[in-house]
């Protein structure tokens, strides 16, 4: 379904207003959304609203604590209260609860040094970090930063796949995934 110019302009207007409500400047939003500064500048400052790619909309929604559907379909009036009181504080609350379960000094130090990145971690990702603590765990073996980078790469990849799956390239995506899956899947007789 092709998005109209008016729909796109409204989406850009919502993103601008929600980012403003969060109190983020362009650089902060670019970092949190993991978008390049030029793209963010065009969204937040551009005179003529640029057509947003699915991956860009997805990144903006994630940074704002929304789903793509919420960002596209809910009115600004419905979303504003969440910016003021909702999603940022719930991410902080989750992080505070999980922080109490941290036993590994390296993980505790990473969380303190990287509060923005830590807020972006899902509950499942935080659980995974907590499960891999300890002197013999993967966090000790490869380091917290490397482990979190892998989680972030995985999350970014899943977001990209979702964006691609919503386009006319779904068939191509299926072929690529099947090819890769066949490459790593053991053969039927158990020999790799």
pLDDT of residue 56 exceeding 70: yes
Question: How many structural domains comprise the chain?
Answer: 2
List the domain range (segments joined by +) for residue 3: 1-87
More confident residue, 81 or 67: 67
Give dist(CA 182, CA 26) in Å, integer. 42
Q: Are residues 60 and 139 in the same domain?
A: no
Q: Are residues 63 and 132 in the same domain?
A: no
Q: Are residues 62 and 111 in the same domain?
A: no
List, for residues 66-80, the tens digit of each pLDDT value: 888 889 998 888 888
CATH of the domain at 59: 1.10.260.40
pLDDT of residue 91 exceeding 70: no
Q: Are residues 27 and 57 in the same domain?
A: yes
């Amino acid at each position: 379904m092709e998005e109209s110019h008016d729909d796109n302009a409204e989406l850009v207007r919502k993103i601008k207003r929600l980012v403003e409500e969060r109190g983020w400047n362009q650089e902060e939003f670019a970092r949190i959304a993991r978008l390049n500064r030029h793209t963010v500048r065009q969204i937040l400052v551009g005179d003529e609203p640029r057509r947003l790619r699915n991956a860009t909309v997805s990144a903006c929604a994630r940074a704002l604590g929304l789903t793509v559907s919420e960002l596209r379909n809910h009115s600004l009036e419905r979303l504003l209260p969440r910016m003021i009181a909702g999603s940022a504080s719930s991410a902080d609350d989750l992080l505070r609860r999980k922080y109490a379960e941290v036993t590994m000094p390296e993980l505790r130090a990473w969380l303190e040094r990287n509060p923005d990145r830590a807020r972006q971690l899902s509950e499942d990702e935080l659980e995974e970090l907590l499960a891999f603590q300890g002197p013999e765990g993967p966090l000790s073996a490869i380091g917290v930063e490397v482990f979190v980078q892998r989680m972030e790469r995985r999350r970014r990849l899943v977001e990209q796949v979702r964006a691609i799956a919503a386009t006319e390239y779904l068939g191509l995506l299926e072929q690529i995934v099947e090819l890769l899956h066949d490459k790593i899947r053991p053969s039927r007789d158990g020999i790799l």
